[in-house]
Amino acid sequence: MTASTELQAVLGKPWRKPPLIRSRALRWALGVGFVVYLILAISTIPVDWGRVYEGLDRGWQFITAFARPDFTSRSTDIWTGLEESIVMTVAASVVGIAISIPIGLGAARNIAPLPVYLICRSIIAVSRALQEIIVAILLVAIFGFGPLAGFLTLSFATIGFLSKLLAEEIESMDRSQSEAVRATGARWGQWINYGVQPQVMPRLIGLSMYRIDINFRESAILGLVGAGGIGATLNTAFDRYEYDTAAAILILIIVIVMALEYLSGVIRARVQ
C-alpha cells in the first residue's frame, strides 16, 4: 500500500466540487441539445464562400499593412481626426460627469425621496437602454454629420453609465459615518459634503477616468456613422483600400488607449 493510499484510507474520500447539475443524464441532454442548436444556428447563416475566398486576400493585405503603417500620406487628416476625437472625448466626459453627479445622488434610494428616485432612475434606464450607435445615428439625422452628434452621444452615454454606478456606490456606503454627520444637525448639503462625498469620491474619480477611456474608444466607432472623430478618417481609409493608413490610425488609437489606461491606473492608485 502506497503512502497516498494509506493517507486516503485515513482521511477518507477526497472532497470534490459537486456538479452544477446533479443528474448525469440531464447534463448529457443539455450538452447534446446545445451542440445541436449550435449546428442548426450556424447552418442558417448564409455564407458566400467565393466572397470569403476574395476577402482572405484583402484580410492578408490588411494584416501585412501593420508591418508598414503609413503615418505621412494622410497625416493632416489623421491628426485632424485625432484632435477632433480628443476634444469630443474631453468635452463629452466633462459635461456627462457634471450631469451624472446630481442624477446619481437622486437615484440613490437611501438619500433621495421616492419621486426624485423614480425620475432619476428613469433617466438612467433610458440612457442605458439605447446603444451608442443607435443614439449617434439618430443625432446625426437631427444635427447632421460632424462632432456635435458625437459629443451629444458620448455625453448621453456617460450619464447612464456613471449615474448608475455612482448611485449604487452611495447605496452601499457606510451609513454610520453619514448618520454621525446628520446627528450633528447638519443641513442636507452639509450632510452630502461631509458624510457622503468623502466615501464615494475615490470611486467617482476612478469611474470617471474609466469613462474617459471608454469615450475615446467610442469616438472612433461613432465616426463610422458620421459622428466625427478619428473614426470618420478610419472609415475613409477603409473605403479607399488604404490599409497602411488604416493600420497607422489603429496603432495610434491603441497607443492613446494604453496611455489613458496607464494614466487612469496612476490616478486611481493615488486617490484610493
Per residue in 110-145, pLDDT (tens digit) is 888 899 999 999 999 998 888 888 888 888 888 888
Answer yes or no: are the C-beta atoms of 93 and 215 closer than 8 Å: yes
Q: Could you tell me the pLDDT band of residue 152, with boundaries at 50, 70 and 90? A: very high
Closest among 204, 185, 201, 184 to 193, alpha carbons compared? 201
Per residue in 7-33, pLDDT (tens digit) is 666 666 777 777 788 888 898 999 999
- Angle, to 10 degrees, between the axis of helix 243-271 and the axis of helix 49-65? 70
Q: Which pLDDT value is given to residue 53?
A: 84
Say which residues have a Cβ less than 8 Å from residue 121's Cβ, sequence separation at least 6. Answer: 107, 167
Q: Where are the alpha helices (DSSP H) in 108-196?
A: 114-129, 132-143, 147-171, 175-183, 188-191
Answer yes or no: are the C-beta atoms of 256 and 216 closer than 8 Å: yes
Sign of CA dihedral 223, 229, 231, 235: positive
The cell numbers describing 78, all together, are: 489623421
Q: Whole-prediction pTM value? A: 0.75
Q: Which pLDDT value is given to residue 91?
A: 92
